[in-house]
């Protein structure tokens, strides 16, 4: 019987199988064997499911095809099968699977923590009308950042962001650059947009637009005048009022 518990267990099995495949099977000589086994498994499943749907003839067909292919695979993929079984018996291989799974889980946890810290800082600055510029570049080799930014290389925290953008600190007028899930630079001077249609915006918004026009970066802006939170990308700027939408946007921007 299909229920939520079975669905959750199935998802866990698929995740474990995917991590194992990416870590040890992909781009190896055993990849063809695994693909063949997956196809064979699908045929076996159809052989059981189709009769349940009253498609007995098709069910028997897939059942016999799967049976014949099972015997053929043993002969065709004999070298790959030996390598695969040797891999399964390798204790170091199992340890590497566990390590890869832990690393993947840690990255997700670190990313969510960074999002929480950015949202916390941005929300506070919005309430207090503290201006801020936070850049999420796609390219780490950005000449503007390298030339003008002050290297920080620190873990993302709301306290550090609030300190940087406090109006008595020397770096508050520049932009913070987020790269590799860290505060990489602060005090970066961004190019101002020369688009005459953007005359209604202040310096921070024009800087955010200028950066988005000259690069693939996305720039978060907190307005000092209104407290509005906006994102600039591809030469356009959009205000975000919903914290959930801000979180979703940050989830796409932070490196996975």
Residue 215's nearest CA partner among 234, 231, 229 is 234
- In this prediction, residue 232 carries a pLDDT of 94
Q: Considering Cα of 60, then 64, then 69, then 74, what sign does the dihedral take?
A: positive
Q: Which CATH class is domain 105-253?
A: alpha beta
Q: 21: pLDDT confidence band, cut at 50, 70 and 90?
A: low
Q: How many whole angstroms separate alpha carbon 134 and alpha carbon 21?
A: 37
Helix (H) or strand (E) holding 119: helix 91-128
Mean pLDDT to the nearest integer, 113-119? 94
Tell me the pTM.
0.59
Strand ranges (DSSP E) for the chain? 132-136, 150-155, 175-179, 182-188, 218-222, 229-233, 236-239
Give mean pLDDT, residues 32-58: 73
Average pLDDT over residues 68-88: 63
CA 91, CA 74: separation in Å to the nearest integer? 24
Q: What angle do CA 192, 117, 126 make, to 5 degrees?
A: 55
pLDDT tens, residue by residue, 145-197? 555 678 899 999 999 999 999 988 988 889 999 988 899 999 998 888 887 65
Residues linked to residue 71 through DSSP beta bridges, in sequence order: none
pLDDT given at position 229: 95
3 state SS of 162? helix
* Residue labelled with tokens 């570049």: 137
Q: What's the CA gap between 256 and 245, in Å, rounded?
A: 18
pLDDT at 104: 55
Query: In this model, does residue 98 exceed pLDDT 90?
Result: no
């Amino acid at each position: 019987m299909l229920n939520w518990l079975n669905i959750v267990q199935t998802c866990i099995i698929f995740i474990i199988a995917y991590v194992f495949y990416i870590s040890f099977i992909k781009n190896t000589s055993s990849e063809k064997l695994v693909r063949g086994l997956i196809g064979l498994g699908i045929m076996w499943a159809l052989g059981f499911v189709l009769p349940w749907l009253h498609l007995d003839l098709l069910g028997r067909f897939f059942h016999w095809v799967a049976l014949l292919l099972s015997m053929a695979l043993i002969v065709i993929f004999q070298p790959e099968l030996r390598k695969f079984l040797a891999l399964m018996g390798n204790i170091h291989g199992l340890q590497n699977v566990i390590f890869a799974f832990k690393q993947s889980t840690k990255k997700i946890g670190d990313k969510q923590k960074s999002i929480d810290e950015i949202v916390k800082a941005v929300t506070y600055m919005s309430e207090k009308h503290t201006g801020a510029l936070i850049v999420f570049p796609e390219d780490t080799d950005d000449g503007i950042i390298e030339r003008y930014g002050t290297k920080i290389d620190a873990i993302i925290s709301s306290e550090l962001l609030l300190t940087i953008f406090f109006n008595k600190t020397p770096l508050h007028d520049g932009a913070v650059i987020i790269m590799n899930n860290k505060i990489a630079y602060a005090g970066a001077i961004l190019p101002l947009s020369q688009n005459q249609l953007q005359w209604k915006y202040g310096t921070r918004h024009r800087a955010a637009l200028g950066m988005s026009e000259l690069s693939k970066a996305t720039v978060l802006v907190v307005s000092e005048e209104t407290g509005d939170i906006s994102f600039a990308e591809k030469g356009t700027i959009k205000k975000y009022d919903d914290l959930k939408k801000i979180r979703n946007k940050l989830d796409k921007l932070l490196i996975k």
